[in-house]
Amino acid sequence: MNPEQSEPWWKGAVIYQIYPRSFMDANGDGIGDLPGITARLDHVASLGVDGIWLSPFFTSPMRDFGYDIADYRGVDSIFGTLADFDAMCARAHALGLKVIIDQVYSHTSDQHAWFEQSRASRTGPRADWYVWADAKPDGSPPSNWQSVFGGAAWTWDARRGQYYLHNFLSTQADLNVHNPAVQEALLDVARFWLDRGVDGFRLDAINFAMHDLALTDNPPRPEGEGRRTRPFDFQLHVYNQSHPGIVPFLERLRGVIDGYPGDRFTVAEVGGDEADAEMKAFTAGDTRLNSAYGFDFLYAEKLSAALVREVIGGWPGTAGEGWPSWAFSNHDAPRVISRWAAPEHGDAMARLCLLLLFCLRGNIFLYQGEELGLPQAEVPFERLQDPEAIANWPQTLGRDGARTPMPWAGPAAAARAAHGGFSRAEPWLPMPDVHLDLAVDVQERDAASVLNLTRQLAALRRARPELRIGDFAPIETPEPLLVFDRSTQAGALRCVFNLGDAPLDHALEAGWRVIMAVNGAGVGASLPPRSGMIAERVE
């Protein structure tokens, strides 16, 4: 058998991320929902992707818009019902799309029944399901740990007379995943959704799932290392995350998943100073997760050849090494073309980024609207919803600008499809005019649109094993020229990019033929600014 045909479906897959609040509103309340997703899955399938990843739709008070879960097995009423989820899942499968859902195992909402029972008593059956600790003699928190969203990572609870840990919002209490009973409860949650037919999980903030039991203070971050906009940025996060006990828990999870038929897929979200080492630890061998992704590209302020060579080259495919995943945009990061290009170069940068993303070794995540080349939306302060954006305004762009509603209908259709075809009501976040100009129906009519380029790239990646599962071999070149080969035993492709804002002299060597190009590349011996091409080796 051809080894390329024996690989699991997820290896080299293209997975489309859906942020349910902002994808499609079916009931007219201004918030996206599961029936809305079902109604628009034909669009996703038309892209040629392998599956979808849904951000949380679970029961939640929405302090962090679903990442504060109050019931792991329930669908929040703003999104629909379990029956709506089942119908969405069935429709996705009928269209040939796998379904990946978020699992948040590091924390729950403070309104989860587990937390309410835990805070009620120090001796109850769930007393140690969360991370509780006594105050220091002077009443201050048990350690100096800081929350990602600002301020101390500890909140005093008068009912227990103790502090509880929260690495994010104070309403997101950290589970004590050291506790075997907590682990078993989380594994039961996984079984619940696997039984409903999901094809895998994206594990949110999994490197925060366990903490140093001695509650050792984190050391300060050396002066000059990184930007500091939050107290969190002043520390090296040695003790509040990245505990070695996480790996055995992931092996338990993998054991549960392997008990189900088919190739189920697991991917970890891993951020922080030790992300690369954690990604490798979480995916090593055949008994842990299938893949992991970090924030190397998501938080990068500039695209460079050195960045790509270092990040992708750090996963050479040695024996026992896991399989990486990559994203340029998602619901937690400003949209990529606004980070890496001035507004007047948005269209060219969108095309360049898509070409590069589809050429990378590993799985790739395509965030809703990325196939349209959407820039970051500008959301006025009075319309902000993201607690991080509000707390840090105006020092950070926040996350709301990447979460605005999906534009389905452009200006010409405004009379019959208000709010860009997303909802009959005012959306929960505003939709900028520039997004309406890039709407799905506008780009459907343009064969040269970013949307249709996305479809061409997905088809090429599906057709060429070199792009999907091939080796990555960087070729040393001066900035801003990026060149690398993707190859299997059956063939080779050369990927060439000018990441700069001026033309470069660069001609393909003899024996290569261009099969895909953007922004004028592949014509003559000059590479225009922000251009790229893929060439195949010919005899």
Q: Are residues 429 and 493 in the same domain?
A: no
Same domain for 501 and 435: no
Cα 155 from Cα 78, distance rounded (Å): 29
Residue at 114 is within a domain: no
> Distance between alpha carbon 377 and the CA centroid of its chain, in Å?
18
- Of 433, 458, 483, the residue that ends a domain is 458
Q: How far is CA 433 from the centre of its chain?
A: 26
Q: State how far the alpha carbon of 472 is from the alpha carbons of 308, 313, 317, 363, 492, in Å.
A: 11, 7, 9, 13, 10
CATH number (domain holding residue 189) = 3.20.20.80
Kindly state whether residues 337 and 477 are assigned to the same domain: no
Instruction: Kindly state whether residues 259 and 207 are assigned to the same domain.
Output: yes
Domain end position, chosen among 458, 491, 519: 458
Would you list the DSSP string of 166-202?
Answer: -SS-TTEEEB-TTSHHHHHHHHHHHHHHHHTT--EEE
Q: Are 377 and 430 in contact (CB under 8 A)?
A: yes
Closest CA to 339 of 307, 382, 384: 307
Same domain for 261 and 199? yes
CB-based contacts of 476: which residues, under 8 Å, 6+ apart?
none
CATH number at residue 519: 2.60.40.1180
Residue 482 has pLDDT above 60, yes or no: yes
Catalytic positions, written as ranges? 204, 269
- Please state the rounded mean pLDDT for residues 513-535: 95
Report pLDDT digits (tens) over 348-383.
Answer: 999 999 999 999 999 999 999 999 999 999 998 889
Amino acid in the structure at residue 359 = C
In a domain, 532, yes or no: yes
Q: pLDDT category, 389, cuts 50, 70, 90?
A: confident
| Residue 303 domain flag | yes
| Rounded-to-integer distance, Cα 470 and Cα 464, Å | 9
What pLDDT was estimated at residue 414?
56
pLDDT at 393 over 80: no
Instruction: Return d(Cα 8, Cα 321) in angstroms, integer.
Output: 16
- CB proximity list for 429: less than 8 A, separation 6 or greater: 22, 377, 379, 383, 385, 400, 403, 404, 405
**Whether residue 483 is found in the same domain as residue 450:** no
Q: What is the pTM of this model?
A: 0.96
One domain for residues 237 and 294: yes
Domain count, the chain: 2
What is the rounded CA–CA span in Å between residue 501 and residue 404?
29
SS3 of the chain: helix, strand, coil, percent, to 5: 30, 20, 50
User: Is residue 3 pLDDT above 70, yes or no?
Assistant: no
The predicted structure's pLDDT at residue 523: 86
In this structure, the answer to whether residues 375 and 426 fall within a common structural domain is yes
In this structure, the answer to whether residues 490 and 360 fall within a common structural domain is no
The reply to whether 185 falls in a domain is yes
Provide the pLDDT confidence category of residue 405 given band limits of 50, 70 and 90.
very high
424 lies in some domain? yes
Task: Give the domain-ending residue among 400, 423, 458.
Answer: 458
- Is 358 contained in some domain? yes
Position 146 in a domain: no
Residues 454 and 475 in one domain: no
Tell me the pLDDT tens digit for each residue of 277-289. Answer: 999 999 999 999 9
pLDDT tens-digit series, residues 121-153 = 999 999 999 999 999 999 999 999 999 988 999
Contact 359/495 with Cβ under 8 angstroms?
yes
> In this model, does residue 5 exceed pLDDT 70?
no
Residues in CB range of 383: below 8 A, 6 or more apart: 400, 429, 430
The amino acid that residue 48 corresponds to is G
- Specify if 342 maps to a domain: yes
Q: Which two tokens stand for residue 408?
A: 């389905």
Asked if residue 79 and residue 54 are part of one domain, the reply reads: yes
241 and 303 fall within a common domain? yes
pLDDT digits (tens, 9 = 90+) for 194-239: 999 999 999 999 999 999 999 999 999 998 887 788 899 999 999 9
- Note down the domain range covering 419: 3-109+178-458
Q: Residue 433 carries which side chain, given as an amino acid letter?
A: D
Q: How many CA atoms lie within 13 A of 394 on its CB side?
A: 5
CB 490 within 8 A of CB 513: no
